[in-house]
Copies of this chain bind each other. A is one copy, B any other.
Amino acid sequence: MTKAQDILALSGGVGGAKLALGLADILVPGQLHVVANTGDDFRHLGLHISPDIDTLLYTLSERANPVQGWGLEGETWNTMAALEQLGAETWFRLGDRDMATHLWRTQRLHAGLRLSACTAELATRLGVASHVYPMTDDQVSTTVHSDRGDLPFQHYFVRHQCEPVVTGFSFDGISAAHPNRELMRLLQRKAFGTIVICPSNPFVSVDPILQLPGLWLALRESPAPVVVVSPIVAGLAIKGPAAKMMAELGMEVSALEVARHYCRRYPGLMDRFVIDDSDATMAGAIRDLGVDVAVTSTVMKSRADKQALARFVLQRDGG
């Protein structure tokens, strides 16, 4: 049923969603499968919020807000304004249209639906042809260990604007969590032609996915090559705190160090590492880690950039 050339992508939020959109654009509808990090999920105002799933669904349905980089285009903020008048917590901004997603999902989850089923239904209702999976239906919560103590991810990321100095991360609940069943089933069936790890944050977006029991080994055992796109370009993170985290963890802030991270934690997983032209001088050192290196422009500004990187990653332009 599933064609051999289906593509699997592992993604966090904004950065990963960009490449996912590029991949969806160049593939046949339904050929792309995206596994989203859910370590950032949390309950807020009584709502179940899945930031990375939503960013993926909004991006893939072309509803994403291109300016703020999260949330919906043409959003309004009247519920937040009224919550502010009530003296409620408003550090996590929920737009009025976005609210519908959280209300809908929370209600479905209360009714007993699994997050994966909610996500599939939401994708259908938003007109997303790609398959989007939460990494697990179980609760896994990313905690950021920092100089201000242990912070739930969204408190670190949004409330404190990534200001605390990080010392490490933990993914509460992960050892008891089951990776997404459909994903594991597809991996067993060798359904994928390529497995792409999007240029998402290695520590808080990709690690939670890969560290689910059995998941990274299943990816390694899969005959599909695993291609990682570096989220670090010229020593900077395109989006988010990845570079800041690396510096605070005492790591060199470079694509090479990202490659080392993946090789160290998941030996034998990565087949090819895609770096930006500006990091071409690191190619040799990365090859010394035992992985192929491919060099291209990895910065995705336009829709064409996204599609070009997607083609390159899938070696559809001979890259």
Interface residues of A (CB under 8 A from B): 45-47, 76, 78-83, 85-88, 96-101, 103-104, 106-107, 110, 122, 125-126
How far is A78 from B104 in the complex, measured between Cα atoms in Å?
14
Pick 6 A–B contacts, CB within 8 A, sort by A.
Answer: A45-B104, A46-B46, A47-B103, A78-B78, A79-B79, A82-B100
Residues from chain B with Cβ under 8 Å of A78 in the complex: 76, 78, 96-97
Query: Is the beta-carbon distance between A100 and B125 smaller than 8 angstroms?
Result: no
Task: With CB as the reference atom, state the residue of chain B lying closest to A90.
Answer: B100
Identify the interface centre among A81, A98, A99, A110: most chain B CB within 10 Å of its CB: A99
Query: Is the beta-carbon distance between A100 and B88 smaller than 8 angstroms?
Result: yes
Q: A45-B107, A46-B106, A46-B110 are in contact. Are A101 and B86 (CB under 8 A)?
A: yes
Task: With CB as the reference atom, state the residue of chain B lying closest to A84.
Answer: B100
Partner of A83, one of B46, B86, B100, B106: B100
How far is A79 from B99 in the complex, measured between Cα atoms in Å?
6
Residues from chain B with Cβ under 8 Å of A87 in the complex: 125
Summarize A's interface: helix, strand, loop or mixed: helix
User: Nearest chain B CB to A54's CB is how many angstroms away?
Assistant: 12
Task: With CB as the reference atom, state the residue of chain B lying closest to A48.
Answer: B46
Partner of A100, one of B79, B101, B104, B126: B79
What 10 A-B pairs have minimum CB-CB distances, sorted nearest first? A82-B100, A78-B96, A82-B97, A83-B100, A46-B107, A96-B96, A79-B99, A45-B103, A79-B96, A46-B106
How far is A76 from B97 in the complex, measured between Cα atoms in Å?
11
How far is A99 from B47 in the complex, measured between Cα atoms in Å?
13
User: Nearest chain B CB to A240's CB is how many angstroms away?
Assistant: 26
User: Nearest chain B CB to A50's CB is how many angstroms away?
Assistant: 15
How far is A97 from B78 in the complex, measured between Cα atoms in Å?
6
Residues from chain B with Cβ under 8 Å of A96 in the complex: 76, 78-79, 82, 96, 99
How far is A182 from B221 in the complex, measured between Cα atoms in Å?
66
How far is A107 from B106 in the complex, measured between Cα atoms in Å?
13
Partner of A88, one of B46, B76, B85, B104: B104
How far is A307 from B126 in the complex, measured between Cα atoms in Å?
51
Query: Is the beta-carbon distance between A81 and B97 smaller than 8 angstroms?
Result: yes
User: Nearest chain B CB to A33's CB is how many angstroms away?
Assistant: 22
Task: With CB as the reference atom, state the residue of chain B lying closest to A75.
Answer: B78
Q: A45-B103, A107-B46 are in contact. Are A125 and B86 (CB under 8 A)?
A: yes
How far is A122 from B103 in the complex, measured between Cα atoms in Å?
22
Q: A46-B103, A103-B46, A107-B46 are in contact. Are A97 and B125 (CB under 8 A)?
A: no
Residues from chain B with Cβ under 8 Å of A81 in the complex: 97
Partner of A122, one of B80, B86, B98: B86
Task: With CB as the reference atom, state the residue of chain B lying closest to A88.
Answer: B104
How far is A88 from B104 in the complex, measured between Cα atoms in Å?
7
